[in-house]
Structure 1
Amino acid sequence: MLLNELPDDVLLLILEKCSAQDLSSLAQTCVRITQLTHVDSLWKALCRKEYNVKTLGNIKTYYCLYSELLYSYGWMLGTFLCRTTPRGGLLEVQYCDGMIQGIQWIVSSKSLKDPLDKVLMFEIAESDRHPQCLVPYASLHTAQIRKINSDKFVYKCKEKARHQRQIFCTQKHENIFKGIAYKRLNFPKEIPSSLKLKDGSPSPQIITPWLFIAEYGSH
């Protein structure tokens, strides 16, 4: 029996075992297979398996979510460290409401009992060709992310003039224009129960208020 002679439900069971690259290749074989490779349940499973993304947000289909956002930027999801940045050294990249967001966790108080505050540094939407820099006190503008490998990248603001009025835009805080290097922070396999959901899976936002405390200037 030829592959094209199999019923749709059997073909879908086979396609469920395929990677995104395999599905893209099979989509070029014939009209029927092309239609089946666009069944959204296949891409929903891939979004969850490869990137642990379980919701669509504002994007219409899981195929669009995968092909137009996660395929290019899904590798960034996770938590990263850096040594030189005016906003602290801990960056959490997460998927939220149809966008990939970069959240910088910063020390805002001298008290050891106060939690870290979060600042939205950048976001990437489905239709964006480049990340949008969202650093406070500057209007929305383009940023650049250069991938070194799946665990390292460099973030750089491309429009310095937009930051001229920022309170931290001083000579010693120009790393954001030269490029900030981030390295992935790998959490231990055994995650504390307090950071797990009811079903036992890790929380989509590992870093939460009161999880970290620090002394001002310790980063």
Structure 2
Amino acid sequence: MAVCARLCGVGPSRGCRRRQQRRGPAETAAADSEPDTDPEEERIEAGAAAVAGAPGGRGAGPQPPPRCSLLELPPELLVEIFASLPGTDLPSLAQVCTKFRRILHTDTIWRRRCREVLHRYRHILGLWQPDIGPYGGLLNVVVDGLFIIGWMYLPPHDPHVDDPMRFKPLFRIHLMERKSATVECMYGHRGPHNGHIQIVKKDEFSTKCNQTDHHRMSGGRQEEFRTWLREEWGRTLEDIFHEHMQELILMKFIYTSQYDNCLTYRRIYLPPSHPDDLIRPGLFKGTYGSHGLEIVMLSFHGKRARGTKITGDPNIPAGQQTVEIDLRHRIQLPDVESLRSFSELSRLVLDVRERLRQEQQQQQSGLEDGEAGGRQSPREPQRGPAQPGAELPAEEVGEAGGAEAAGAQPGQGQPFVLPVGVSSRNEDYPRTCRMCFYGTGLIAGHGFTSPERTPGVFILFDEDRFGFIWLELKSFSLYSRVQATFRNAEAPSPQAFEEMLKNIQSLTS
């Protein structure tokens, strides 16, 4: 109720607080122990009873009309009356008598006032992905006192994946009385100014700045662009020009979109969690070569895990499934000295891929035989003793079994080192891992041309970090969990989450 009162602009009963400050301890104790009715209330009730109970009262001739008081109305009717009053009047009303004060503590009144104040903007609370070309993004809309604020969450500066997320306000809605609200654009360096929000539908809305001159800087567009690069990349234009020359045109597009703060947002949900998940699903920050850090959503789907890009780049846009992990096929890494050889790692991964191909062929052959000669079940592949690179049955995926299978003691991790020749933006990766699985990663040319899935290795380091070795690219991506807490981001059902994944992927397909 206190939060709802803040939304109404009144907070706790200010008049009552001042009266309590003037009281001494004895007066406060006496006030707390007073009966539920005051003398005026008792006088009215007694008078009403005397009129009703007088001898021959109702049949002795004309009687004056009975006096009517709000105190005589049923509590349910008083709740309806009080809920229609302005929020600024409620603290004064609470000082009238104990009965009014007690009724004004009814949650129904404050829940209704919350709905009235938030009115149509209540649907935009939660997580959203902006439509900024292939780049996407992460917007968190929350209630903060008298405001609804849209915070844009940004990854740390490359390559520090373990650093906390950066965030900045893009817009805010000032909540007021009588279903009115003021929308303000927070972008730029000259403070809040007039903006507009349009609710397209329940899971989509757009923002527009009505005073883009507030985004101007004294040095003109060149200074503004340099400032944006410095804030977003942590580097100057000269530092990144040669390394990112092909992307500068697209970067100007995303800058211009943010510059005018005219964007469309689509709702996203956090992935649901299940007791048998390998680790807790959620959002992670990851390195993507020269593209910097990006945000990925890790979710579990039976015996597979998927990493969906919430932010993207000119090669693989936001919404695409960047990695897929086959939890049925563990990869047992060799000792550290053998692991330093890229050719050895490549042999292990390609061996698992070949086994998968043979299994698929055998299953397809079994299905065809069953169609031709009855209900013959698919043939199961023969499994020999576990060797480095061999996949393990799905029931052996547990943490303790993984450590033992990897040659480490239970409760300890297996030593890990990147093979020679594998590039990494962050050399400060963990030197022990829990277990590894076969997976595939999505690669494509500039503009998402010729996309294909290539084999790789998923490395689970701990509850909050994992990595992926892209075999064809000879590169390593390190992912670290986003530790921020997001409210109003749970999917209403598993089906709604799956539908959300399909929707954001179809936008960039």
Q: Do the two structures share a fold, i.e. TM-score over 0.5? A: yes
TM-score by length of 1: 0.59
Which string of whole-angstrom CA distances, capped at 9 and with x for unpartnered residues, describes residues 35-91 of structure 1? 154455213345xxxxxxxxxxxxxxxx2x4323x1131111011012418x96100
User: Structure 2: 5+ residue runs without aligned partners?
Assistant: 1-71, 85-103, 218-223, 230-250, 276-281, 295-310, 312-509
Equivalent of 2:208, from 138, 147, 156? 156
Equivalent of 1:8, from 71, 74, 82? 74
Say whether 1:90 aligns with 2:138: yes
Corresponding residue for 1:186? 269
Bigger relative contact order (CA 8 A; separation at least 6) = 1
- 1:116 maps to a residue whose letter is M
Say whether 1:66 aligns with 2:126: no
| Worse-matched range after superposition: 70-79 or 169-178 | 169-178
| Residues 37, 137 of structure 1: alpha-carbon distance in 2 compared, 3 angstrom cutoff | closer
Equivalent of 2:107, from 41, 47, 57? 41
Equivalent of 1:109, from 157, 180, 203? 157
Corresponding residue for 1:133? 185
Greater per-residue helix proportion = 2
1:113, distance to aligned residue in structure 2 (A) = 2.0
- 1:43 maps to a residue whose letter is I
Say whether 1:213 aligns with 2:285: yes
| Residues 7, 130 of structure 1: alpha-carbon distance in 2 compared, 3 angstrom cutoff | closer
TM-score by length of 2: 0.28
Kept in 2, the 8 Å contact 1:43–1:66? The answer is: no
* Residues 166-181 of structure 1: pairs in structure 2 closer than 5 A: 166=224, 167-168=227-228, 171-172=252-253, 173-176=255-258, 177=260, 179-181=262-264
Corresponding residue for 1:75? 123
- 1:119 maps to a residue whose letter is K
- Rounded Cα–Cα distance in structure 1 between residues aligned with 2:137 and 2:163: 17
Which string of whole-angstrom CA distances, capped at 9 and with x for unpartnered residues, describes residues 183-218 of structure 1? 1112245489xxxxxxxxxxxxxx9xxx64233253
Aligned residue-pair number: 158
- Rounded Cα–Cα distance in structure 1 between residues aligned with 2:269 and 2:136: 18
- 1:42 maps to a residue whose letter is T
- 1:168 maps to a residue whose letter is W
1:33, distance to aligned residue in structure 2 (A) = 7.4
- 1:71 maps to a residue whose letter is H
- Rounded Cα–Cα distance in structure 1 between residues aligned with 2:156 and 2:189: 17
- 1:131 maps to a residue whose letter is V
| Residues 168, 156 of structure 1: alpha-carbon distance in 2 compared, 3 angstrom cutoff | farther
